[in-house]
Amino acid sequence: MYQPNWESLKEYQVPDWFKDDKLGIFIHWGVYSVPAFDNEWYPRFMYRDEISERGINYFQHHLKTYGHPGLFGYKDFIPMFKGEKWDPLDWLELFKASGARYIVPVAEHHDGFPMYDTDYTPWNAAKMGPKRDIIAELAKATRDAGLRFGVSSHRAFNWRFFAYADDFDTNDPENFQLYSPPHQEGEPAPQEWLKDWYTRTKELINKFEPDVLWFDFGWHEDEFTPYRPQVAAYYYSEALKWSKEVVLQYKDKLPDGVAVLDIERGKLDHLREDYWQTDTSVSYKSWSYIENDEFKPPGVIIHDLVDVVSKNGNLLLNVGPRPDGTIPEAAASLLRYLGRWLQINGEAIYGTRPWHVYGEGPAKIGQGHLKERDDQPFTAKDIRFTRKGNALYAIPLGWPGEKITIQSLGTKSPLAAETIQDISLLAEDDIALSWSQDEDGLTISLPAQPVGEHAFAIKISMKN
Are 298 and 417 within one domain? Answer: no
Query: What does residue 246 show for φ and ψ, rounded to 5 degrees?
Result: -120, 170
Could you give the percent of the chain with pLDDT greater than 90? 98
Are 325 and 375 within one domain? Answer: no
Overall domain count for the chain: 2
Q: What SS3 string covers 263-293?
A: EECCECCCCCCCCEEEEEECECCCCCCCCCC
Q: Please tell me the pTM assigned to this model.
A: 0.98
Q: Where does the pLDDT of residue 334 fall: very low under 50, low under 70, confident under 90, or very high at 90 and above? A: very high
Query: What does residue 460 show for φ and ψ, rounded to 5 degrees?
Result: -110, 105
Q: What is the C-alpha to C-alpha distance for residues 153 and 200, in angstroms, rounded to an integer?
A: 10
For 265, other C-beta atoms within 10 Å of its C-beta total 18
Q: What angle do CA 268, 281, 162 make, to 5 degrees?
A: 100
Are 228 and 371 within one domain? Answer: no
Residue 53's pLDDT is what? 86
For 221, other C-beta atoms within 10 Å of its C-beta total 16
Mean pLDDT of 17-33: 99
Last residue of a domain, one of 293, 320, 348: 348
Are 336 and 365 within one domain? Answer: no
Task: Select from 462, 269, 434 the least CA-distant residue to 366.
Answer: 269
Q: Where does the pLDDT of residue 464 fall: very low under 50, low under 70, confident under 90, or very high at 90 and above? A: confident
353 domain-assigned: no
Are 104 and 212 within one domain? Answer: yes
Are 283 and 396 within one domain? Answer: no
Burial of 329-339, coded b for 16+ CB within 10 Å and e otherwise, reads eebbebbbbbb
Last residue of a domain, one of 315, 348, 381: 348
Residue 349 reports pLDDT greater than 90:
yes
1 domain-assigned: no
305 domain-assigned: yes
Please enumerate in sequence order all residues whose Cβ is within 8 A of that of 197, keeping only pairs 6 or more positions apart, or say none.
155, 156, 189, 227
Per-residue pLDDT tens over the stretch 227-236: 999 999 999 9
Are 305 and 364 within one domain? Answer: no
Q: Where does the pLDDT of residue 416 fall: very low under 50, low under 70, confident under 90, or very high at 90 and above? A: confident
Domain of 446 in residue numbering reads as 359-462
CATH number of residue 301's parent domain = 3.20.20.80
Per-residue pLDDT tens over the stretch 117-161: 999 999 999 999 999 999 999 999 999 999 999 999 999 999 999
Are 250 and 117 within one domain? Answer: yes
Residue 306's pLDDT is what? 98
91 domain-assigned: yes
Per-residue pLDDT tens over the stretch 45-78: 999 999 998 899 999 999 999 999 999 999 999 9
Could you give the percent of the chain with pLDDT greater than 70? 100
Residue 3's pLDDT is what? 98
Are 32 and 156 within one domain? Answer: yes
How far apart, in Å, do the first and last CA atoms of the chain sit? 41
Q: Which of 463 and 272 is assigned the larger pLDDT? A: 272
Residue 102 reports pLDDT greater than 90:
yes
Are 253 and 382 within one domain? Answer: no
Are 121 and 89 within one domain? Answer: yes
Per-residue pLDDT tens over the stretch 171-203: 999 999 999 999 999 999 999 999 999 999 999
Mean pLDDT of 243-262: 97
Residue 168 reports pLDDT greater than 80:
yes
Mean pLDDT of the chain: 97
Burial of 68-107, coded b for 16+ CB within 10 Å and e otherwise, reads ebeebbbbebbeebbbeebebeebbebbbbbbbbbbbbbb
Please enumerate in sequence order all residues whose Cβ is within 8 A of that of 463, keeping only pairs 6 or more positions apart, or say none.
390, 418, 419, 420, 421
- Contact, 398 vs 380, CB < 8 A? yes
The rounded Cα 326 to chain-centroid distance in angstroms is 20
Mean pLDDT of 373-388: 97
Q: What is the C-alpha to C-alpha distance for residues 29 and 26, in angstroms, rounded to an integer?
A: 10
164 domain-assigned: yes
443 domain-assigned: yes
Residue 24 reports pLDDT greater than 80:
yes
Distances (CA, A) of 252 to 234, 257, 261, 313: 19, 13, 7, 16
Are 73 and 158 within one domain? Answer: yes
Q: What is the C-alpha to C-alpha distance for residues 19 and 306, in angstroms, rounded to an integer?
A: 14
Residue 305 reports pLDDT greater than 80:
yes
Task: Select from 359, 346, 361 the least CA-distant residue to 308.
Answer: 359
354 domain-assigned: no
